[in-house]
A and B are shown apart, each in its own frame.
Chain A
Amino acid sequence: MTKSVRNRHLETSKAHWVEWATGLVSLLLVLGMIVWIAVEAMTQEDVPPSFDVAVTGVAPVEGGFRLEFDILNQGTTTAAGVLVRAEVVQAQQVIDTAEVTLDYVPARSKASGGLFLLQDPSRQELRLRAVGYADP
């Protein structure tokens, strides 16, 4: 408990057991968090970003097709400005292309986005990949 008199606060020395319980739980949580991060700090190797891009949906929209995708960063470092490009290929010729830049794809995390294509990507060969990134 805290005794407050005109903006002067005095912590009482006799504390309710709830205060100690909360304090100890907090102490454990803080220590647990520190240990987790410390273990991570010591064991984690810096793996540069690499991406797994997967199509999650194709739908016809006005003037073409919308291609939705998920991108997973498999590295342990975050990538910024990730450029994702989709190419529709027919007879070894790229007949349509679209690209988008994602602000961030955090380490071991997912981001998602969409691209608009004129050709139906589900009927032809589709190349969907991350082209490049910057370190944040």
Chain B
Amino acid sequence: MAARVQGEAGQDRRLTQRFLVGIGRGGAGALIFGIPMLMTMELWALGFTIERYRLLLLLLINIPLLIVLSHRIGFEKTSTWREASRDAMIAYAIGIVMSALVLLVFGSIKLEMPVNEILGKIAIQAVPASIGALLGRSQFGGEQDGDADEQADGQEDNEEHEFSTSYARELFMMAIGALFLSLNVAPTEEVILIAFKMTPWHALAMIVASVLIMHGFVYAVAFRGTHELTEDTPRSHAFIRFTLPGYMVALGISFYVLWTFGRLDDTAGMQALMSAIVLSFPGAVGAAAARLIL
């Protein structure tokens, strides 16, 4: 009896420790992915200049995004939607806490500032940081995770490893990758400055480059996690079914992010399109990377 109690206590301790390690990894992920944005002054300013309903929309959109991402990452460990939602919320919380701490250390938020400003600055940073926290928990997982209980159900695990990614899910993953890199780049003035400097010819070249890089990333260059085609599938199939829709997703995300940051207000259609094309360049890279990593 005493031994069993001890055993349970030991298991409890192991679980707690594992949970804490997970939190730590999340924090590390939030830092790695969040630092570039935490150190961008345009984002500090956006914390109080961004229109509140646009900020709210971004914060709300982040929730289903994190849940799907968490489910996808946790998929290999056969997690349920409930667990995915829980992990997503934890990641969001980690993102908020890490953003607040780092901004506090930077002196970017001070206690005598208006609450509105403090909240805005933290909230806008929490979005990329929470994605980072979620990625951190999965990508830093490594082999250390292979606890006894996991090895035990390793057999059935193997079967679960083969799954079909639904088409919508594939596009969704691209959207997350594009959103993440777009959020990184969009607040900087350089995006619109590049768009202003470009002629329409430059824009055309940029579209072609973005699409080719996207296709090359996933199909041509043999990265780990690269996508392959069956022998009898012509190359153009993947180009039309995945790469072009992926680019459209990246372009759509670019428009959304630029709109969120108020970069499209009162801007002529052509100028708005040029800015979006500039932003889809990193967005396309992010989308392609997401297909490889996630």
Contact = CB atoms under 8 A, between A and B. Distances in A.
B245 interface: yes
Interface in B224-250: 224-230, 232-233, 237-238, 240-242, 244-245, 247-248
Contacts, number: 131
Nearest to A10: B228
Interface stretch (A31-39, A59-67, A114-122): A31-39
Q: What's the interface size class on B, roughly?
A: 35 or more
B271 A106 contact: yes
Interface string B161-205: 111111100110000000000000000010011001101110110
Interface string B116-133: 000000000000000000
Interface stretch (B56-64, B105-113, B262-270): B262-270
B159 to A, nearest CB: 11
B273 A38 contact: no
A20 to B, nearest CB: 7
Given A8-B228, A9-B227, A44 B204 contact: no
Interface string B259-294: 000000011101101000000000000000001000
Given A30-B211, A104-B196, A111 B238 contact: no
B240 A2 contact: no
Given A4-B162, A23-B241, A41-B204, A106 B268 contact: yes
Contacts of B227: 2, 9-11
A48 B200 CA distance: 16
A12 B109 CA distance: 51
B contact face: mostly helix, strand, loop, or mixed: helix
A61 B164 CA distance: 64
Given A10-B230, A22-B245, A30-B244, A1 B164 contact: yes
A53 interface: no
A18 B268 contact: no
A11 B242 contact: yes
Contact of B207 (A33, A103, A107): A33
Given A29-B248, A34-B207, A107-B268, A16 B167 contact: yes
A41 to B, nearest CB: 3
Given A3-B162, A8-B225, A8-B228, A26 B204 contact: no
A36 B229 CA distance: 33
A136 B224 contact: no
A41 B228 contact: no
Given A23-B244, A107-B196, 5 more contacts: A2-B164, A4-B163, A11-B228, A15-B237, A41-B201
| Nearest 7 Cβ contacts at the A-B interface | A41-B200, A23-B240, A110-B266, A26-B244, A78-B196, A108-B268, A13-B233
17 contacts: A5-B161, A5-B162, A7-B224, A13-B229, A15-B241, A23-B241, A26-B244, A27-B244, A37-B204, A37-B207, A38-B200, A80-B196, A103-B189, A104-B196, A106-B268, A106-B271, A108-B271
Interface of A: 1-13, 15-16, 18-20, 22-27, 29-30, 33-34, 36-38, 40-41, 44, 78, 80, 103-104, 106-112, 136
